[in-house]
Amino acid sequence: MLKDSQKMVRTSVILPEDKRDHLERLAKENGFSVALVIRCAIDEFIENTKNNKKLKIKSVKE
């Protein structure tokens, strides 16, 4: 996942309350920070989409 020498940058996202609550519960139940859970999810997403040129994303309303 994260290498010691990697520079971190702060990024903000807006989530629906239920998703934020789920992430908080998941993090607490496993003894991790929400930030770490999100970084791990992003790493997994990137790994799973490395060979795909087009993203398959469900419709998202902003």
Dist. CA 25–CA 34, nearest whole Å: 9
Kindly state the tokens that stand for 30. Answer: 């496993």
Judge whether residue 17 has pLDDT over 70.
yes
* pLDDT value at 53 more than 60: yes
Return the pLDDT at 6: 85
Confidence of residue 3 (pLDDT cuts 50, 70, 90): low
Distance CA(6)–CA(33), nearest Å, equals 19
What is the spatial distance between Cα 59 and Cα 51, in angstroms, rounded to a whole number? Answer: 22
Whole-model pTM?
A: 0.76
Q: What is the pLDDT of residue 15?
A: 96
Report pLDDT for 58.
77
